[in-house]
Amino acid sequence: MLLAIDAGNTNVVFAIYDGDTPRGRWRISTDSRRTSDEYAVWLTSAMALKGLAAQDVNAAILSSVVPATTPDLIRLCKDHFGCVPMRIGDPAVDVGIEIRIDNPREAGADRLVNAVAATERYQAPLVVLDIGTGTTFDVVDADGAFAGGIIAPGPTLSLDALHRVAAQLPKVDIAKPDRVIGRGTVGAMQSGMYWGYTAMIEGLLRRIKAELSPTGTPPVTVIGTGGMVRVFAEETGMVDHIDADLTLRGLLLIYRRNAKSGG
């Protein structure tokens, strides 16, 4: 079985695949102080609830955008699952997509994995809208190449920053206000976050589509993923598909590609 690990800024997500079949999926908050042994105690306990044991795993693949967590996740695989993980970003690992940006080494592991999964299931040209700690728009052109995109702060990060630096502004949750014009501080902040991010998403998607396919032919497909995408996707009406498993499926596809080729 394959252990797939997606280490993001907010959460580390683990999944076990038996061939094409997902056998379990678990997430834990990202903490650079967490050791490989701590990961192992938590993960093997969670796996046991699904009838899975560490010895069932014989391969692993890792995507990490948090360098401080990467060594312990590698040790987790080596010491507790008996395998060296395939790592996105390792030059020996072929992700299977052309990277058509100024400096291909700058392409984030999670962004490439999402692009790979999206092109396997959806028609290019396409945009992957990933709303989490950051908000990213990852573009795949009509030829199926990763063509760059946009990176912006995520809504929760922006809201937390506003609370931290402005002494009189409270900490509020992200929610859809009934009105655009807030009648109080909380309403005004929620409006700024919800309607502000909705407007940003709509505006940037329109501009991306105009650059990517000026005539509208072929049409640009928008795929939404990430922990907060559902909060905004319905309101914008511009997200064609929501795919919560995009990153993990991309890891599975990349693992297969390299295992098959002997990489």
23 is in an annotated binding site: no
11 is in an annotated binding site: yes
185 is in an annotated binding site: yes
What order do you get walking across the sheet with 241-242 strand by strand?
A: 146-153, 134-140, 126-131, 221-225, 241-242
| CA pair distance 177, 179, nearest whole angstrom | 5
68 is in an annotated binding site: no
- 138 among known catalytic residues: no
58 is in an annotated binding site: no
**Residue 122 near residue 219 (C-beta atoms within 8 A):** no
10 is in an annotated binding site: yes
Active-site residue, from 20, 31, 79, 110? 110
133 is in an annotated binding site: yes
User: Which tokens hold the place of 32?
Assistant: 């650079």
What order do you get walking across the sheet with 86-87 strand by strand?
A: 21-29, 11-18, 2-7, 59-64, 86-87
Tell whether the torsion through CA atoms of 78, 82, 87 and 90 is positive or negative.
positive
59 is in an annotated binding site: no
Binding-site residues from annotation:
6-13, 108-111, 130, 133, 185
The set of catalytic residues is 110
Binding-site residues from annotation for substrate:
108-111, 185
Binding-site residues from annotation for ATP:
6-13, 133
